[in-house]
Amino acid sequence: MIAFEHAVYGLLLPGGSEAVLVAASTECFRSLSLPEAVKRLVDLEFCNLEIAIHEGGCQLRPSEVEANFDKTLTLCRDTHRLNVLAYSVEIEATGEEYYRQFRAVCRLAKATKVVTLVVPSAELGTPFNEEVERLRRLADLAALEGSRVGMKTTVGCLTEDPDTAMVLCDNVKGLGLTFDPSHFVCGPHANRNTEKLMKYVYHVHLRDSTRKELQVRVGKGDIEYGRLISQLRKVGYNRALTVHMAELPDADHGGELRKMRLLLESLL
């Protein structure tokens, strides 16, 4: 498994170390179809990709993966040579249908050699034991297909608190985090120490943010990209830094995405 993950995530550098890869999420163009979003990212010279599989989106839905696996597999392989490094999964079904759809996404991940599955954490107020049970089932289903679950750190969810996020990972074998520093800059736990979370990080989402705004133009916010990369390197992180930016009014979205890509590449 280690060798397989290295093949997927890292490019070997002199001396045997591995490169962290810069990627972009198709959610950067959430109003476009999956093929259109991929084409726009190709035009912006991204080489790596996270595909959103969201029931409420317009690109690819978990229910579609379950109902028409072969069609969705073809779509996810037609990425104009962009490497798919992760799937972001948001399922609206309930009960056992929820897990059937997640199992189908796990099969898709195996077929396309994708390791990391990004999932949301439960909303605040969800009983802790209930969330642990859900995450254990997801982690077990993913492990059966050679994948793993990276739970998102998000304001309004259990993972908005770094301590809760850490305890959840400690209670679910194989569970890690999709770390989004914006939610620890613009949120109720701003200025909390998050370095202790680095050892749990499977995936990273990035944009620029301030204490008052979740997303601002690149370079106008408070995200310390260099410091974050240094913290990740200390724990041997060798996977993706994924640009995850919505469109801003009066801003050239393509230009902002290109600026973020160039910034991250310069720091690596």
The residues near 85 (Cβ < 8 Å, ≥ 6 apart) are 8, 9, 21, 23, 48, 49, 50, 114, 116, 203, 239, 240, 242
Q: Is 165 exposed, middle or buried (0-12, 13-18, 19+ CB in 10 A)?
A: buried
Domain count, the chain: 1
Task: Return d(Cα 169, Cα 197) in angstroms, integer.
Answer: 10
Is the pLDDT at 141 greater than 90? The verdict is yes
Q: Give the count of beta carbons closer than 10 Å to the beta carbon of residue 122.
A: 18
d(CA 128, CA 122): 9
User: How high is the pLDDT of residue 188?
Assistant: 87
5-14, 39-48, 170-179, 216-225: range with lowest mean pLDDT:
5-14
Tell me which residue range forms the domain holding 254.
Answer: 2-267
Contacts of 120 (CB under 8 A, 6+ apart): 90, 151, 152, 154, 157
- Predicted pLDDT at 137: 98
Highest mean pLDDT of the ranges 16-30, 133-147, 189-203: 133-147
**The predicted structure's pLDDT at residue 13:** 33
> What was the pLDDT predicted at 112?
97
Higher pLDDT, 10 or 107: 107
Please tell me the predicted confidence (pLDDT) of residue 174.
Answer: 96
Q: What is the mean pLDDT of residues 255-266?
A: 97
pLDDT at 43 over 80: yes
Percent of all residues in the chain with a pLDDT value above 90, rounded to a whole number: 88
The confidence score (pLDDT) of residue 184 equals 94
Please check the confidence at residue 258 and state whether its pLDDT lies above 60: yes
Residue 39: pLDDT over 90: yes
Which amino acid is residue 52, in one-letter code? A
In this prediction, residues 123-144 reach a mean pLDDT of 97
- Arithmetic mean of pLDDT over the chain: 92
Q: Reply yes or no on whether the pLDDT at 37 is more than 70.
A: yes
pLDDT surpassing 90 at residue 143: yes
C-beta separation of 11 from 226 below 8 A: no
Query: pLDDT tens digits for 52-104?
Result: 999 999 999 999 999 999 999 999 999 988 999 999 999 999 999 999 999 99
Better pLDDT: 19 or 16: 19
Cβ-proximal residues to 21 (8 Å cutoff; 6+ apart), any chain: 9, 10, 11, 47, 48, 83, 85, 239, 240, 241
State residue 12's pLDDT score.
35
Residue 18: predicted pLDDT:
64
pLDDT, mean of residues 186-194: 86
Q: What pLDDT was estimated at residue 10?
A: 38
CATH number, residue 175: 3.20.20.150
Q: What is the pLDDT of residue 123?
A: 96
